[in-house]
Structure 1
Amino acid sequence: MIRKLLSYLIPITIYKNKSSWSKSIEVTWANGELVLDSENTNYSYGSLQRILRLGLKKIGFRQIKAMNKILVLGVAGGSVIKTLVDEVSFKGAITGVEIDPDIIKVANSYFKLNQIPNLTIVITDAFEFVLQANEKYDLIIVNIFQDTKMPNFLFENFFTQKLCFLLQKKGFILFNTMVLTEKDNLRNKKYVEEFYQPDFKLATIPRVEIHNELILIEKIK
């Protein structure tokens, strides 16, 4: 494909639109691969896929492959789901929660998300989904952004407590955060310092792709 080859020289945007939740949704050929971007940041594939792949490697592909249920909060184009299916060879059930129906339409059209047989997409607010949920998961991936902003509820203790409640024994939470300012840095530092859940441990993977920090929470009992 000519556009794919040319993208090694210059990014080529093939789709651009907006939704009620995003000022801009762009699908672009960049360095030989399709990526999904918002106005100011990468939403799926590209750098975001590298970030979350690193987090999954920290947990261990073999360990993830043996899991039964995974919850993904913030689907966008579905790059982490593609990593789970194509690289980890995960065969269990994946539930993806996404607030923006328009971005799921793009993911289906350009990234074939609707062709993944073990995936269920729920169009709703992640905050409401988590508060109402009771099903247990082996891995919860939190990857929620509105362009470069992160909703405050992600860092509130009661939300973290509920996520921990939804974990199976020996389960993991993989939380992708964006750190652009000193305020963001202090927010993450406060979150880590104040984290306390019996039978859980927390670790960070700082400055992934310059502006991202991964937080990994493990249920040890």
Structure 2
Amino acid sequence: MINQILSYILPIKIFKKPSEYSKNLEVTWNNGQLVLDSENTNYSYGSLQRILRKGLKYIGFERIKNFESILVLGVAGGSVIKTLVNEVHFTGKITGVEIDENIIEIANTYFQLDTIPNLEIVIEDAFEFILKSQTTYDLIIIDIFQDTTMPSFLFEKYFINKLNQSVKVNGFILFNTMVLTKKDKERNQVFSNSFDTHYSVRMYPKVEDHNELFTIKKLA
């Protein structure tokens, strides 16, 4: 494909659509790979896939491979789901929660997300989903952005408590955050301190340029 080859020289945009949640959604050929971006940041594939792949490696591919259920809050184009299926070889149940139906349409059209047999997509606000959920998961991946902004509910104690109830003992939370300001850094520190001795919290700063990753293991 000529666009794929030319994208090693210059990114080539092939699709753009306004979004209620992310200003604009764009599909672009970049360095030979299709990526999904919002107006100001990468949403799937590209740098975001590298970031979350590192997080999965911190937890351990072999450990994840033996899990039974994974919840992904914030699907976008589905790059972390593709990593789970194609690289980790996870065959258990994956539930993906995404508020923006337009993103899922793009993910199905350009990234074939609807071909993954062990994936269920739920179109819903992640906060509402967690509040209602009675299911527990071995791994919860949180990757929720509105362009470069993270919704405030992600750092509220009530959400964190409900999130903790949704993780199995010896299960993990993998949380991708964006740190652009000193206030963001302080926010992350408060988040880290909100877990008691029943959890093992590790923070990995400077994953790519502006991302900090948390891995949180539930011990009891």
| Range class of TM-score, shorter chain | over 0.9
Correspondence for 1:163: 163
Correspondence for 2:82: 82
User: Equivalents in 1 of 2:119, 2:181: separation in Å?
Assistant: 35
Cα deviation digits, residues 157-181 of structure 1 (max 9, x gap): 1211111111112100000000011
One-letter amino acid of the counterpart of residue 99, structure 2: I
Secondary structure of the equivalent of 2:83?
A: helix
Aligned length: 220
User: Equivalents in 2 of 1:124, 1:197: separation in Å?
Assistant: 29
Cα deviation digits, residues 65-96 of structure 1 (max 9, x gap): 00000000000000000000000000000000
User: Equivalents in 1 of 2:206, 2:136: separation in Å?
Assistant: 30
1:42-61 alignment, distance < 5 Å:
42-61=42-61
Correspondence for 2:175: 175
Shift of 1:33: 0.4
Is the CA contact (8 Å cut-off) linking 1:43 and 1:76 kept in structure 2? yes
Correspondence for 1:13: 13
One-letter amino acid of the counterpart of residue 151, structure 2: P
Percent of aligned pairs with the same amino acid: 62
One-letter amino acid of the counterpart of residue 49, structure 1: Q
Which sections of structure 1, spanning at least 5 residues, go unmatched?
none
Correspondence for 1:152: 152
Correspondence for 2:211: 212
Is the CA contact (8 Å cut-off) linking 1:161 and 1:197 kept in structure 2? no
User: Equivalents in 2 of 1:16, 1:196: separation in Å?
Assistant: 40
Correspondence for 1:110: 110
User: Equivalents in 2 of 1:210, 1:19: separation in Å?
Assistant: 25
Cα deviation digits, residues 27-63 of structure 1 (max 9, x gap): 0000110000000000000000000000000000000
Q: CA RMSD in A?
A: 0.8
User: Equivalents in 2 of 1:133, 1:197: separation in Å?
Assistant: 22
Secondary structure of the equivalent of 2:19?
A: coil
Secondary structure of the equivalent of 1:146?
A: coil
TM-score, with length taken from structure 1: 0.98
